Amino acid sequence: MSKRMTANRAKVDKNKVYSLDEAVKLLQETAGVKFDATVELHANLGINTKKTEQQVRATLVLPHGTGKTKTVAAFVSPEKEKEAKEAGADFIYGEEEIKKIKDTGKIEFEVAITTPDMMPKLASVARVLGPKGLMPNPKSDTVGTNLKKMIGDLKTGKVTFKNDDTGNVHQAVGKLSFGEEKLKENINALLDTLRKAKPATAKGTFLKSVTVCSTMGPAIKIAA
């Protein structure tokens, strides 16, 4: 570990739970890289991951986005191609492209949307898209008829998160260059969505611990 990283870690009390105001200031003070670092939030949830009904999955539009624009693929019928392109889709896919994905397994996009009529056709590539978290899903508002809204939301900061096998959620909430206020607004929006996503059968404390950190920076515990 470099002297700089060691010094940065020394600025954070591992046993202290910081206020959000304190934490975002520390994020700036403990930046471990020279480029514009990504800020992430990590939450440990009080859920039983072996129970299907306690899986946590939710979608929100971060007020200020993540700082990264995602490439969006629109799986649409020929009649909808012009609308999808005008809405800002990076890739317009039809039946021919679906077959190519099935045959090659090659993916060039980061997120996908589709219309209800195309869902049966996408079933053939579910085994390719599903494991990568790229299969359009009505629950994440990536299946619908309003292409402009679906694509626009994804381009401006819509994110979908879910817990991993150990009951943790990991989500980027912006860049250090956003400044303290925008980072706080994004973090609060994510925490609000997390609280609302608590499964009805989850007992005890739901947000057991929450930390924020920047790329290569130390973890900072915050009040949940």
- What is the distance between the alpha carbons of residues 13 and 7, in angstroms, rounded to a whole number? 12
pTM more than 0.95: no
- What is the distance between the alpha carbons of residues 20 and 59, in angstroms, rounded to a whole number? 22
Mean pLDDT on 25-49: 92
Q: What are the structure tokens assigned to 191, written together?
A: 């925490």
- What is the distance between the alpha carbons of residues 111 and 207, in angstroms, rounded to a whole number? 28
- What is the distance between the alpha carbons of residues 144 and 115, in angstroms, rounded to a whole number? 5
Q: pLDDT, tens digit, for every residue of 155-187?
A: 888 888 999 999 999 999 999 999 999 999 999
DSSP sequence for 136-191: --GGGT-BSS-HHHHHHHHHHTEEEEE--TTSEEEEEEEEGGG-HHHHHHHHHHHH
pLDDT of residue 1: 57
Q: pLDDT, tens digit, for every residue of 121-137?
A: 999 999 999 999 899 99
DSSP SS3 for 91: strand
Mean pLDDT on 99-111: 94
Rounded to 5 degrees, φ, ψ at 26 are -65, -35
Domains of the chain, each with CATH number or no CATH: 14-66+158-222 (3.30.190.20), 72-155 (3.40.50.790)
